[in-house]
């Protein structure tokens, strides 16, 4: 009897010792450990990738740095956990990472049954087609009967079949598992078309094509792949912090505030800019942060456009859908007021 009571007591004590960790909000936990643990891709050019010096770079990495700047006023307080596609959701669910910024497509299943919350979209992607220029193809509608190189097992293959069926066209798939080999097949002329997400097409054309000008990416985008940062269900405070870190980068671009120029606007009389930099109002407090949270993000990381310029434009990406709404794109931040 005594041992039973003791066992129960020990178990209860162990549970109690464990409990506070889960009851604590993520923001408090992040503050007390002193850094943001950010789950990123193990290596995807432009999104998250270590450079030759082992420094992480990319737009997903910039999102992590923005969150760190908002919470600590210092963009460098991030620790990166490189994650594979299979690990990423478990790592977030189990609390191994605080934010998952790993080019993850926002779908309803992931947003609901996986227990995740997508905070927004930091890159609008979609599946497209690349063809050699010499074929003189101007539209995907002209691809009837084409041989298409595609990697198996992803939604890419299904979207491809759907698109051709919907347009009453036929195609001959060349299905190859390894990226390296599928690219070799395309560049060797084994197929007329290569299909994957447009971001992937752009990167491949810039880095792998013997002569990038010999290949064109067709205008049709046949699927929606909104990529965005993710947090766990059930912690609205943290959800707000990450969400508004992303929005602050978009809003800064809209207001014309950049890393180099924001200091010149500190004395601006524009009320939107005053609210943004924390000169007036208590917006940071409402988030549980310092009032200069947005200023720190822009000062240290830059606005969304600058991040895009720095990471994606050198690879040959065009802004396209990722322009601000004022310029005909989809990037739109709710008002910061």
Partner 1 sequence: MGTDPIFRTAGSIPDWARANLFSSWPNALLTIGIVYVLWQALPSLVNWAFIEAVWHAPDSKACRAASGGGACWAFVAEKHRFILFGTYPFDQHWRPALACIVLVALWSVSALRAFWKWWLALVWTGGLAVIALLMWGGAFGLPYVENERWGGLILTLLLTSFGLAFAFPLAILLALARRSTMPALQGLAVGFIELVRGVPLISLLFMASVMLPLFLPAGVTIDKLLRAQIALILFAAAYLAEVVRGGLQAIPAGQYEAADALGFSYWRKTLLVVLPQALRVSIPPLVNSFIAFFKDTSLVLIIGLFDLLSTIKVSLTEPAWTGFGVEAYLFASLIYFAFCYSMSRYSQNLERGLAKAEEGRRR
Q: Nearer to partner 1 by C-beta: 233 or 319? A: 233
Q: How far is the CB of 207 from partner 1 (least distance, A)?
A: 4
Q: Return the percent helix, strand and coil in the chain, to nearest 5.
A: 45, 20, 35
Q: How far is the CB of 70 from partner 1 (least distance, A)?
A: 22
Kindly identify the residues of this chain, within the stretch 297-326, that bind partner 1 according to CB under 8 A.
Answer: 314-315
Q: How far is the CB of 149 from partner 1 (least distance, A)?
A: 17
Among residues 27, 30, 45, 193, the one that binds partner 1 under rule CB under 8 A: 45
Q: Nearer to partner 1 by C-beta: 34 or 328? A: 34
Stretch that binds partner 1, among 41-49, 130-138, 160-168, 192-200 (CB under 8 A): 41-49
Say how far residue 30 (Cα) sits from the centre of its chain: 21
Does the protein bind partner 1 through residue 55 (CB under 8 A)? yes
Q: Nearer to partner 1 by C-beta: 210 or 335? A: 210
Kindly identify the residues of this chain, within the stretch 180-209, that bind partner 1 according to CB under 8 A.
Answer: 180, 203, 206-208
- Both tokens of 38, joined, read 């950010």
CB contact at 8 A, 294 and 70? yes
Neighbours of 65 (CB within 10 A): 25
Residue 194 three-state SS: strand
Does the protein bind partner 1 through residue 22 (CB under 8 A)? yes
Q: Nearer to partner 1 by C-beta: 39 or 305? A: 39
Q: How far is the CB of 299 from partner 1 (least distance, A)?
A: 23
Q: Nearer to partner 1 by C-beta: 5 or 21? A: 21
- Both tokens of 68, joined, read 């760190």
Does the protein bind partner 1 through residue 153 (CB under 8 A)? no
Beta strands in the chain (DSSP E): 36-41, 49-50, 56-57, 78-83, 99-105, 116-118, 123-125, 127-132, 146-150, 171-175, 193-197, 215-217, 225-232
Among residues 1, 21, 108, 166, the one that binds partner 1 under rule CB under 8 A: 21
Q: Nearer to partner 1 by C-beta: 53 or 168? A: 53
Show Cβ contacts of residue 253 under 8 Å, excluding neighbours closer than 6 positions.
Answer: 303, 304, 305, 306, 324, 331
**Residues 22, 23, 24, 30: what is their CA dihedral angle, to the nearest 10 degrees?**
20
Residue 2 three-state SS: helix
Kindly identify the residues of this chain, within the stretch 72-131, that bind partner 1 according to CB under 8 A.
Answer: 79-84, 86-87, 90-91, 93-96
With b for 16 or more beta-carbon neighbours within 10 A and e for fewer, the 176-205 pattern comes to beeeeebbebbbeeebbbbbbbbbbbbbbb
Question: Which residue ranges make up the site for partner 1 (CB under 8 A)?
Answer: 15, 18, 20-22, 24, 42-46, 49-56, 79-84, 86-87, 90-91, 93-96, 180, 203, 206-208, 314-315
């Amino acid at each position: 009897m005594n041992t039973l009571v003791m066992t129960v007591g020990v178990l209860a004590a162990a549970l109690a010792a464990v409990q506070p960790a889960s009851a604590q909000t993520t923001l408090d936990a992040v503050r007390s450990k002193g850094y943001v643990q950010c789950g990123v891709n193990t290596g995807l050019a432009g999104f998250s990738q270590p450079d030759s010096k082992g420094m992480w770079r990319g737009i997903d990495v910039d999102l992590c740095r923005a969150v760190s700047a908002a919470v600590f006023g210092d963009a460098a307080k991030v620790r990166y956990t490189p994650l594979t596609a299979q690990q990423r959701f478990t790592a977030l669910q189990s609390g191994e990472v605080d934010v998952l910024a790993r080019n993850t497509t926002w779908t309803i299943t992931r947003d609901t049954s996986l227990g995740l919350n997508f905070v927004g979209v930091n890159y609008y992607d979609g599946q497209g087609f690349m063809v050699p220029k010499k074929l003189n193809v101007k539209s995907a509608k002209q691809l009837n009967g084409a041989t298409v190189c595609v990697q198996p097992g992803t939604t890419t293959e299904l979207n491809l079949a759907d698109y051709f069926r919907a347009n009453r066209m036929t195609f001959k798939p060349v299905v190859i598992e390894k990226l390296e080999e599928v690219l070799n097949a395309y560049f060797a002329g084994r197929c007329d078309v290569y299909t994957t997400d447009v971001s992937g097409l752009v990167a491949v054309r810039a880095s792998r094509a013997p002569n990038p000008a010999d290949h064109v990416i067709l205008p049709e985008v046949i699927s929606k792949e909104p990529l965005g940062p993710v947090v766990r269900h059930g912690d609205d405070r943290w959800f707000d912090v990450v969400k508004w870190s992303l929005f602050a980068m978009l809003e800064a671009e809209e207001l014309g505030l950049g890393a180099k120029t924001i200091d010149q606007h500190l004395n601006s009389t524009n009320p939107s800019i005053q609210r943004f930099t924390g000169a007036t109002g208590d917006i940071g407090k409402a988030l549980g942060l310092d009032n200069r949270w947005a200023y720190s993000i822009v000062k240290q990381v830059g606005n969304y456009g600058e991040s895009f310029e720095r990471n994606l434009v050198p690879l040959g990406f065009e802004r396209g859908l990722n322009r601000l709404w004022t310029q005909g794109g989809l990037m739109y931040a709710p008002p910061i007021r």
